[in-house]
């Protein structure tokens, strides 16, 4: 695109959004018609094909994370560019894009995104795949390629192996030639983790002892822990000398204050607390991660588990299912 704004004549006059007027339960959602957003400089307007549903949005809806109302949730979305503001280059009208960096606003028929954060989607990747991939896929990619780069033959422990990130982690780790140990909470979820390729699936109650047994007392090279408070000590106990604990989430709650000397006592361990924003710093990094993820999808190394697809107006039902753990895969909203 050139330096001029691009607004085709046949744009719709309005968009539909699912938003909250106040904090509360799922009943606070309403779907309303609003003016079509207009892209500013460096932005594109995307007609939504599907939007990802993520747990942070339940916190925003309920008031755990305060937001300004009216509030349209959603940071993850996929669709087709239909208009562009000034100074957008390399993206044309009609191009399919995906993103995990919209910040808010993808629970809608149309959303705005900075062009620099819009990732072009290859023709061989479907809209649903592209919508289910960005946040969890990019998270798994940075964990195993940047925070701690896993080598073939290494033994790795992950938690929540049946979760969205957990299933992707396992598949990408197996493609690297790693041995994967994971944890789940139920027999049903253990089957899902095994289907993703995990070599061992353990219960949360005894995983640290079992990891030591599996590794003949050596411990693992790295633990990827998105559970937090309930697994942190066991994760440390599972590590070998100079092992690394990557704490990338706190599904069970935040880890309390921690004595760093404990790392020395346990074998000169490393602990880090990353998040995705520090691993999508520029266009080159973004392109690298997504090109590898798309390649894994098209080669068959990665299969995405879509646990449910809901009409936009049923965002409340999607939140209810997510909060009550009724699903095991990625949830999507479809306008």
CATH of the domain at 61: 3.90.180.10
pLDDT band at 4 (very low <50, low <70, confident <90, very high): low
Residue 213 lies in a domain: yes
Q: Check whether residue 225 and residue 311 sit in a common domain.
A: no
Mean per-residue pLDDT over the chain, rounded: 95
Question: Has residue 289 been placed in a domain?
Answer: no
pLDDT at 1 over 80: no
Give the chain's end-to-end CA distance (angstroms, integer): 27
User: CA 193 to CA 200: how far, in whole Å?
Assistant: 9
Last residue of a domain, one of 238, 262, 277: 277
Residues 191, 316 share a domain: no
Q: Are 38 and 141 members of one domain?
A: no
Residue 162 half-sphere exposure toward CB, CA atoms < 13 A: 20
Task: For residue range 21-43, list pLDDT tens digits in order.
Answer: 999 999 999 999 999 999 999 99
Give the tens place of pLDDT for each residue, 47-93.
999 999 998 999 999 998 999 999 999 999 999 999 999 999 989 99
Residues 258-288 pLDDT 10s? 999 999 999 999 999 999 999 999 999 999 9
- Same domain, residue pair 240 and 313: no
**Could you tell me which residues are beta bridge partners of residue 33?**
16
Instruction: Please report which helix (H) or strand (E) contains residue 30, including its range.
Output: strand 29-35
Q: Residue 68: inside a domain, yes or no? A: yes
Same domain, 152 and 121: no
Give the span between the Cα atoms of 30 and 315, in whole angstroms: 9
Is residue 102 a part of any domain in this protein? yes
Whether residue 290 is contained in a domain is answered as: no
Q: Is residue 205 part of a domain?
A: yes
Do 128 and 142 reside in the same domain of the chain? no
The pLDDT score that the predictor gives to residue 3 is 62
Task: Note whether residue 292 is domain-resident.
Answer: no
- Taking the C-alpha atoms of residue 305 and residue 274, their distance in angstroms, rounded to an integer, is 25
Residue 141, domain extent:
136-277
The answer to whether residues 266 and 212 touch, using CB atoms and an 8 Å cutoff, is no
Q: Looking at the structure, tell me whether residues 151 and 48 fall in a common domain.
A: no
**Structure confidence at residue 328 (pLDDT):** 77
Are residues 103 and 181 both part of a single domain? Answer: no
For residue 203, being part of any structural domain is answered with: yes
Domain total of the chain: 2
Same-domain check for residues 146 and 222:
yes
Query: Is the backbone peptide bond immediately before 70 cis, with ω within 30 degrees of 0?
Result: yes
Residue 188 confidence (pLDDT): 93
The rounded distance, in Å, linking the Cα atoms of 333 and 320 is 13
Which CATH number covers residue 199?
Answer: 3.40.50.720
Q: Are 147 and 274 in contact (CB under 8 A)?
A: yes
188-219 per-position pLDDT tens digit: 999 999 999 999 999 999 999 999 999 999 99
Domain shared by 28 and 50, yes or no: yes
27 and 152 share one domain: no
Residue percentage of the chain with pLDDT more than 90: 89
Confidence class of residue 169 from pLDDT cuts 50, 70 and 90?
very high
pTM of the predicted structure, to 2 decimals:
0.92
- The verdict on 246 and 149 lying in the same domain is yes
Maximum alpha-carbon separation in the chain: 68
């Amino acid at each position: 695109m050139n330096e001029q704004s691009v607004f085709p004549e046949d744009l719709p006059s309005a968009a539909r959004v699912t938003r909250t007027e106040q904090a509360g339960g799922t009943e606070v959602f309403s779907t309303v018609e609003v003016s079509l957003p207009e892209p500013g400089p460096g932005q594109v307007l995307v007609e939504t094909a599907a939007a990802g549903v993520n747990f942070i949005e339940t916190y925003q809806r309920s008031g755990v994370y305060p937001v300004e109302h009216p509030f349209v949730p959603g940071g993850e979305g996929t669709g087709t560019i239909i208009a562009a503001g000034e100074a957008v280059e390399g993206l044309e009208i009609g191009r399919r894009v995906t993103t995990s960096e919209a910040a808010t606003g993808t629970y809608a028929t149309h959303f705005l995104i900075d062009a620099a954060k819009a990732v072009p989607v290859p023709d061989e990747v479907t809209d649903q795949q592209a919508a289910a991939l960005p946040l969890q896929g990019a998270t798994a990619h940075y964990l195993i390629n940047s925070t701690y780069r896993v080598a073939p033959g290494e033994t790795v422990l992950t938690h929540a192996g049946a979760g969205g990130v957990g299933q992707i982690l396992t598949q990408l780790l197996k493609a690297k030639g790693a041995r994967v140990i994971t944890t789940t909470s139920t027999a049903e979820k253990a089957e899902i983790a095994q289907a993703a390729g995990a070599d061992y699936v353990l219960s949360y109650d005894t995983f640290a002892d079992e990891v030591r047994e599996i590794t003949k007392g050596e411990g693992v090279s790295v633990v990827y822990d998105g559970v937090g408070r309930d697994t942190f000590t066991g994760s440390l106990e599972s590590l070998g000398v100079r092992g690394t604990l990557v704490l990338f989430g706190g599904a069970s709650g935040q880890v309390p204050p921690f004595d760093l000397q404990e790392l020395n006592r346990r074998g000169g361990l490393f602990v880090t607390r990353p998040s995705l924003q520090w691993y999508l710093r520029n266009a080159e990094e973004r392109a690298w991660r997504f090109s590898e993820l798309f390649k894994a999808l098209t080669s068959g190394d990665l299969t995405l588990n879509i646990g449910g697809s809901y009409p936009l107006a049923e965002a409340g039902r999607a939140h209810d299912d997510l909060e009550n753990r009724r699903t095991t895969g990625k949830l999507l909203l479809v306008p």
